[in-house]
Amino acid sequence: MKYCFYGLLTGMLVLLFGCSQDAENGAHIIRMEGQTMGTTWHVTYLDSLRREYRADIQQLLDTINNEVSTYVENSVISRFNRSDSGIVLKFWQSTHPYFVVFQENWIKSRQVWEASDGWFEPTIMPLVNYWGFGYTEKRPVTEVDSAVVDSLLQCVGFDKVHLRMNRDHVWLTKDMPCVQLDFSAIAKGQAVDAVGRLLEGHGIRDYLVEIGGEVRARGNSPRGTPWLVGINTPDPRAPATEIIAKVALTDKALATSGNYRNFFEVEGRKYAHIINPRTGYPQQTDLLSVSVLADECALADAWATALMAMGLDAAWEKANQMGLEVYFIYGKPDGTFGIRHTEGFGRLLQ
């Protein structure tokens, strides 16, 4: 999760609601917030016409949630997950015109799944539920059944899901009834991008969009400088406002994945929510937090999860192979933090 600021740390927090004073360039500063996807959203933008798009943003986010949330019973993804072989939709039956929301999540997920050699795995849902981190009852697994884990692994594999479309219909099919989709590691990023495109469609060029810690920045902050975003200290005991690094963003997106808050502890052993798609077990890793820069927040979001699942050395090698700009925080044996980042990411640190 990230904590967002504009200008300097002594400036106002983005997490305020409503309209504010004029920016240095004379444009009016608009701030707004709301709830979506089980978390919060915050938007700040500059507009000399003082236009307010809160209702449009909330409607868009509600639409996206109704397509890809596993917590919404009649969402497209929930209907697919309950089906034996998949679903067929007419475009007008989708809650979003032309099925764009689900299609974008599927296409970008496929892209990162292939490029990450399967470390980003959108069909991990059965295992996420088994370990108590999914849409089923939240509870720690006190007695692990390896036979069940092995059987659920047979349901995992994005190559078991197929999307086909024509002018009128969408066919979303699966090879086995137990295959289920989970876009939670990309959906917030995609929603951030969608809100950004909505603002751009109205001619807004300077804005910061944040949903659940994933951000997209365009143009400049009200001070006429890059937007300043903080990366949280990866310690569950630290307050949510404590940051370990500040990043200056202009025309970039930033997403972070971490395992230091969402975990269960059973008999002194921690089980984090990042599931290894190859073993079926929660990944034991020295990585505490992975932040990724990209042009699109959806890709940054997906890659942050994929790299987090790999572990420090493999993730560092993959990031350099793919030309990703990353910031890793990892745990040392003595209990302190280590930091490793790419040169391009380092140039944005304040």
Transcribe 217-254 into DSSP letters: EES--TTSS-EEEEEEPS-TTS-TT-EEEEEEESSEEE
What does pTM read for this prediction?
Answer: 0.89
More confident residue, 270 or 25: 25
Query: Residue 92 belongs to what H/E stretch?
Result: none
Per-residue pLDDT, averaged over 126-153, amounts to: 83
Reported as a single tens digit per residue, the pLDDT across 156-203 is 999 999 998 887 788 899 999 999 999 999 999 999 999 999 999 999
The residue count for the chain: 350
* Strands of the sheet with 161-165, listed across from one edge: 86-90, 169-174, 161-165
Does 138 have pLDDT greater than 80? no
Distance between first and last Cα of the chain: 18
What is the C-alpha separation between 311 and 242, in angstroms, rounded?
Answer: 24
What is the per-residue pLDDT across 24-40, written as a single tens digit (0 to 9) for each?
Answer: 666 799 999 999 998 99
pLDDT of residue 141 exceeding 90, the answer is: no
Examine the pLDDT at 44 and tell me if it is beyond 50.
yes
**256 has which bridge partners?**
291
Dihedral Cα 280, 286, 288, 292, nearest 10 deg? -80
Residue 122 · residue 109 · CB < 8 Å? yes
Model confidence at 278: pLDDT above 70? yes
State what percent of residues in the chain have pLDDT above 70.
Answer: 83
pLDDT digits (tens, 9 = 90+) for 235-268: 777 777 788 999 999 999 999 998 655 444 444 4
What is the secondary structure of 329-342 as a DSSP string? EEE-TTS-EEEEE-
Highest mean pLDDT: which of 3-12, 77-86, 91-100? 77-86
At residue 11, does pLDDT exceed 50? no
> What is the residue-averaged pLDDT of the chain?
85
Cβ neighbours of residue 28 closer than 8 Å, sequence gap 6 or more: 19, 20, 21, 22, 46, 47, 48, 49, 50
pLDDT of 18: 41
Phi, psi of 139 (to 5 degrees): -160, 145
Please tell me which residue, 145 or 341, carries the higher pLDDT value.
Answer: 341
Which pLDDT score is estimated for 26? 66
- Please spell the DSSP secondary structure of 71-85, one letter per residue: TSTTSHHHHHHH-SS
C-alpha distance from residue 266 to each of 141, 144, 245, 308 (Å):
8, 11, 32, 22
Rounded alpha-carbon distances, angstroms, from residue 157 to 125, 152, 342: 11, 11, 31
